[in-house]
Structure 1
């Protein structure tokens, strides 16, 4: 029944819709700080659904066939952003077991022991033994004191931290998040992201590797020269690593005209990328810009609600998230 409904909502050929799924992490066990993020058991279940409901294609092939009007019905692609270690350790074996391929967009500056700024905040609020975080007198004092008494409180506190820090200049943001991490009395892990060998292993396993800049900046918040360097250097580093062309790109954060704009689309094209994805919600069609394909993944836990959300998404054409 669901498969038939997907075929009607997501036809092939000239009227085709491309459903691109976006993931970041697949935890080995459920994460109480991010209850909607998949763990291994849940991701395995999702892969069962996707394999049954969709014709899952490599993203480069899907993007090309979409533009040419040759996409099959129920077409989909699976993507992961940032380059987390669990992409290799947890997600890859599950994808292989289901015979599915995915594209992994890697920010090269965090490989081999690096850490993204938001993960400092996440590690702090997940791992601290404190029930209250007093940030008075620190670079994050605008947050005051954060209640961390239970997991819902920690989720609210994390939202406050990330919202306050996200669009700060890089130096201020680093100091802000360092203050939160320092006050938490937590030592953040240096094993969150993949190393070079794991990226190569994904490639050798038949997965696609895509560019995601070097340091994951919000492109509209930096100068054009720096943005071009981030895009091109990330691509070059990945190509040197896997010894193959890298033709796919994901915009950091990815909201059109908020996190990137037409200047950056032009840079991505000039760098030699043939397809790119945003975080604009919805499905792509033959009128979609191949360098700004939308992505959407339901957050529902039940099979029926997950499917209904996907059927609803078939009516969206690159709407902004949030």
Structure 2
């Protein structure tokens, strides 16, 4: 219990520190200082876009923004002089001499609310965007473990889970206990055998009435909805693997097939090969130089990480940074601060 409370305290302290840093970056940007940090522009990462719904236990809240905040973010970037371009056109934009910064919007995993709530905002502002499709979610063969885990822990006061040494009972009656369990199981999943750990999670959750594949069906777009999304000329699809596993932990052939097969699945939906790819999780050590080479060899024009940063003309097009629009920091000032690149200069100092 004490460990869970300590995690919550550290979490709130960290959020307060980040908010303070973003406020400072916003003021520096408004004053015209460190203008070179903005460089050529930025790619933004989103996941859920949906109306706010207060949940008692919500460990994935950082992956969710409201349509109203997306609207504010677009307006803030437009006021700051950004030009919105499709992600697949980014190489041409970075190579051009035009000094106007560019912004690209990307949405990972293919949530249904991207069609229901994000699309109307993008259409209102004529902003292009790319949805990265995990084929296993579309075909209901793979689960979103972080969503399964959140639903399972929310529904129970005690759980049993096998960390590889036999089942262990965990009391999770408090929010601190639920967060501690979420963190511990998530860390276990991020170990070497991700597929095995996710399968164990799905089995354990099923005993308590949680259907992992039903969650995927409820939350993500199927082929028909993705086709409906593509009726908008602003929308494009990118590949995001079959299983959403950390590619750097897979063997050479398995990693290659994750990229290749997901590209072919997106082609079957969209009618053309996708030119963009997003690495699952997207941060080191889930992505390595091997995956950058694979993406290039398989013909993707761009591939994106979740490493934070702004864009430069000489950037590796198969290891591009992105800026997350985080659900904890839904403020237009913070969008401008992040796009300025100043927080990343501070982080690198």
Normalising TM by the smaller chain, what interval? 0.7 to 0.9
1:144-293 equivalence runs, <5 A: 144-150=169-175, 154-182=178-206, 184-188=208-212, 189=215, 190-206=217-233, 207-256=235-284, 258-293=285-320
Q: Tell me which moved more, 301-310 or 105-114.
A: 301-310
* Structure 1 position 133, deviation (Å): 2.0
Residue from 314, 330, 333 that aligns with 1:301: 330
Whether contact under 8 Å (1:251, 1:260) holds in the other structure is: yes
Distance 2:33 2:91 in 1: 20
Residue from 10, 17, 24 that aligns with 2:47: 24
Secondary structure of 2:158 counterpart: strand
Distance 1:45 1:89 in 2: 18
CA change 1:204–1:180 in 2 (3 A) is same
CA RMSD of aligned residues (A): 3.2
* Structure 1 position 44, deviation (Å): 3.1
TM-score w.r.t. length of structure 2 = 0.77
Partner of 1:135: 160
Which consecutive unaligned segments of at least 5 residues does structure 1 have?
none
* Structure 1 position 41, deviation (Å): 3.2
Aligned residues: 311
Q: Deviations over 1:74-128 (max 9, x none)?
A: 32111111111211122111211222111111111210445323322122234x1
Distance 1:232 1:298 in 2: 29
Secondary structure of 2:136 counterpart: helix
Distance 1:221 1:209 in 2: 25
Residue from 304, 310, 321 that aligns with 2:339: 310
Distance 1:92 1:75 in 2: 20
* Structure 1 position 231, deviation (Å): 0.5
* Structure 1 position 250, deviation (Å): 0.8
Secondary structure of 1:77 counterpart: strand
Whether contact under 8 Å (2:42, 2:103) holds in the other structure is: yes
Distance 2:68 2:86 in 1: 23
CA change 1:312–1:228 in 2 (3 A) is closer
Distance 2:42 2:161 in 1: 46
TM-score w.r.t. length of structure 1 = 0.83
Distance 1:250 1:6 in 2: 35
Distance 2:35 2:229 in 1: 29
CA change 1:99–1:8 in 2 (3 A) is farther
